[in-house]
């Protein structure tokens, strides 16, 4: 019985020793992150509606996000910008001063990558962790400031002010993999509108509108801490 007791004590000491040896690496493998961020940015917007000559216009962005992990977050984005275009065949043109509100989620490649100390110190790996895709839903309020109308031409029919729902799909890259509180990013966003009057024109049988934007954003992370 004494020998069995000594054997159990030695086994327990061995387990404790192994745990102590691996404890630093287990702690180091964890990543602390702030769960909130606010940000701002700017870019250019281009309409891909019925008019064959779109023009690139300015875009201003404001964001607020909640992070479930450093690489998975959802939030709200407000956009303020312009879209314009023209079509010489029918003498149509427009300029839309729009406002948009978006609710979306974004998932980075870092969510699926090894979080070991070796990978944290690799420049290329940390950069790849910041590649992401996003999906959401939004509402755009269109306000036509300049638009051609002809009551005798049905191709110029439409409304000067309206709201429409759209689906934003985005891809981009930022520095989320470097554990910085300042997150700088570059993004392309495709916006599929469930309507046909972003450009102010509507005709029966025409396809729904589509517009896109390219933007640069800078976010600051703060708030309660989480462990990943």
pLDDT of residue 166: 97
DSSP helix/strand/coil, 120: helix
Q: What pLDDT score was predicted for residue 116? A: 65
pLDDT(106) > 80: yes
Query: pLDDT class for 19, splitting at 50, 70, 90?
Result: very low
| pLDDT-based confidence at residue 117 (cuts at 50, 70, 90) | low
Report, as an integer, the average pLDDT of 117-127.
Answer: 78
Q: What percent of the chain has pLDDT above 90?
A: 59
The whole-angstrom separation of Cα 180 and Cα 160 is: 44
pTM of the model: 0.83
The predicted structure's pLDDT at residue 26: 46
Task: Report which of 168, 172, 102, 105 is spatially closest to residue 132, judged by C-alpha positions.
Answer: 172
* Residue closest to 172 by CA, chosen among 163, 184, 185: 185
pLDDT-derived band of residue 157, with 50, 70 and 90 as boundaries? confident
Structural tokens at position 14: 């061995």
Contact 88, 55 (CB under 8 A): no
Q: Where are the beta strands (DSSP E) in the chain?
A: 32-47, 53-55, 57-69, 72-87, 92-108, 131-147, 161-174, 182-193, 210-227
Nearest to 94 by CA among 153, 151, 143, 166: 143
pLDDT above 60 for 15: no
Determine the straight-line distance between the first and last CA of the chain, rounded to whole angstroms.
45
Q: For 89-103, write each residue's pLDDT tens digit.
A: 778 889 999 999 999
The model's pLDDT over 62-90, given as tens digits with 9 standing for 90+, comes to 999 999 999 999 999 999 999 998 887 77
């Amino acid at each position: 019985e004494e020998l069995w007791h000594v054997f159990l004590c030695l086994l327990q000491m061995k387990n404790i020793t192994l745990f102590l040896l691996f404890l630093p690496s287990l702690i180091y493998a964890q990543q602390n992150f702030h769960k909130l961020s606010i940000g701002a940015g700017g870019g250019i917007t281009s309409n891909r509606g019925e008019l064959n000559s779109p023009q690139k216009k300015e875009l201003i962005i404001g964001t607020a996000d909640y992070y479930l992990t450093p690489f998975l977050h959802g939030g709200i984005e407000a956009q303020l910008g312009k879209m314009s275009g023209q079509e010489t065949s029918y003498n149509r043109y427009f300029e839309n001063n729009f406002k948009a509100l978006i609710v979306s989620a974004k998932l980075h490649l870092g969510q699926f990558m090894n979080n070991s100390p070796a990978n944290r110190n690799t420049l290329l790996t940390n950069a790849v962790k910041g590649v992401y895709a996003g999906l959401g839903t939004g509402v755009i309020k269109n306000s036509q400031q300049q638009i051609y109308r002809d009551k005798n031409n049905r191709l110029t029919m439409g409304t000067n002010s309206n709201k429409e729902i759209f689906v934003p799909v985005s891809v981009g890259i930022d520095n989320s993999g470097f554990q910085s509180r300042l997150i700088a990013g570059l993004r392309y966003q495709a916006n599929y509108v469930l309507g046909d009057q972003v450009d102010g024109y509507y005709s029966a049988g025409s396809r729904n509108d589509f517009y896109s934007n390219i933007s640069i954003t800078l976010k600051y992370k703060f708030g309660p801490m989480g462990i990943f």
